[in-house]
Amino acid sequence: MTTADAQSDSSHALGDTTAVGRLVTQMRQAIESGELRVGDKVATLRSLADQYDISFDAARGAIARLEKMGYLARKRGSGTFVADWQDRKHEQFNPSRLIQKKQQQKTVALLLDNKVHHYGRFYDHLMDCLQLGGFGTSVFTWHHGWGDDEMLPVLEKLEQDPPHTIVVQHLEGGRYYDALDKIARKHGVRVIFSFAGQHPTPDSWHCVLSDTNAAAAIATNHLLQKGHRRIGLVLHKRTISATEPASTRKRWVGHSGFILGAGQELRRHGMRHALKLHYHQRIDKITGSDAAHPLNRALAAQWLKESDCPTAFIGEDFRIAALLQVAKERNITLPDNFEVVGIGNTPWSTLMNFSSMWLREDLAAQHVLNLIQMSDTLFESVAHRIMLQPQLVKRP
């Protein structure tokens, strides 16, 4: 699959539903359809914000992105106009002209969980950034439980044709990190670990992560401010391997951050025994703890019918969406003040209209591109660890 095909398929399936992304999409469509013609003046940022019911900063971000993509041009003292976007040879409207020819030919390998869309639009944003930066991409997706049959050919490919950078989005609990690290060290390949749980990684890797502890803490604080005194946290079943040293057994458990963040926030408010943990069961290696599996749907119905059912729940968007769907399909009467907060701000939260923690995958993608483009001297001078602060997106 080509980069363009991958981006097209991903955008269709997931889409960028942020305020910036929506405005970019609508204006691109207007320009490419001829509704806005070359030379037409674009409305002011304040007018765009009012027209599309978005913030001033979101309007400014969208216009800036459209300028980088070559659709708009800003003229000092006159305003912003539709550029000759089809004439990519013009340097002002072609960001790739700013990238050296040698750098344009470099490739970036993406090693992604096949469920990457569950965690936001990181893939979409990253593909946009890489394309604008002039980088080719090789995308490898892995599936939980497939193991060596799937990963060894990928490692062999990376060994035979090493890319400029490898972007890793979690790999089977770290099973292949050592092998990947050896390839990177041998060929001088940059490795950037991004938009996954806060798992331990080799010291030479660079990280761009969203603070999941903070996401759970902010969600918990929001619910406490709304008067909730009993909060449920929906997670996957925690698997703690007895073969691991005691000091590292729980470090690989992705949802520990959610538990710590919510628990610490409750203690900060002087509340104890206010958090109830609800675990989706692991079906098998391939399926994982699928929230939509009949077993986990039955569990969700059981949770909602319990006499001490929390009045509010926190969990990844797709788990919260499954919980709400079960309540609807089984006609379960929920408390009048029942409320949920998702984590991810994915299309699930948009379609089902519940508040969610935005993990800022847009910023993560931009930071990853910055690290890829960074000079060797600066890149190798320190192990970069970038932690992004999540934001609560309130709905309705």
SS3 302: helix
CATH superfamily of the 212-358 domain? Response regulator (3.40.50.2300)
Q: What share of the chain is helix, strand, coil (3-state, %, to 5)?
A: 45, 20, 35
Cα(49)–Cα(54) distance, integer angstroms: 5
CB 296 within 8 A of CB 290: yes
Examine domains 3-95 and 101-210+360-389 and report if their fold is the same: no
Peptide bond into 95 cis (omega under 30): no
Q: Residue with structure tokens 């990519």? A: 88
| Average pLDDT per consecutive 10 residues, the chain (396 residues; last block may be shorter) | 36 52 87 89 90 86 83 83 69 42 65 69 87 86 71 90 88 76 91 78 88 95 97 84 54 69 96 95 82 96 96 96 97 95 93 95 93 86 89 94
User: Quick one: pLDDT at residue 59?
Assistant: 87
CB 184 within 8 A of CB 210: no
Instruction: Assess contact for 216 and 314: CB atoms under 8 A.
Output: yes
pLDDT number for residue 229: 96
Distance (Å, rounded) from C-alpha 317 to C-alpha 333?
Answer: 21
| H/E run at residue 25 | helix 19-33
Report the SS3 class of residue 206. strand
Which pLDDT score is estimated for 75? 82
The residue extents of the domains of the chain are 3-95, 101-210+360-389, 212-358
Whether 138 and 163 have beta carbons less than 8 Å apart is answered as: yes
Question: Coil, helix or strand for 316?
Answer: strand
Other beta carbons less than 10 A from residue 205's beta carbon: 20
pTM above 0.75, yes or no: no
pLDDT of amino acid 208: 93
What CATH fold (topology level) applies to the domain 3-95?
A: Arc Repressor Mutant, subunit A (1.10.10)
The CATH architecture assigned to 101-210+360-389 reads 3-Layer(aba) Sandwich (3.40)
The pLDDT of residue 372 is: 93
Q: How far apart are CA 133 and CA 128, in angstroms?
A: 9
What are the phi and psi torsion angles at 258 (to 5°)?
A: -65, -45
pLDDT attached to residue 121: 81
Phi, psi (5° rounding) for residue 228?
A: -75, 135
User: What is the reported pLDDT for 308?
Assistant: 92
Tokens representing residue 146 in the block: 């497939």
Asked if 167 and 153 count as a contact pair (C-beta separation under 8 A), the reply is no
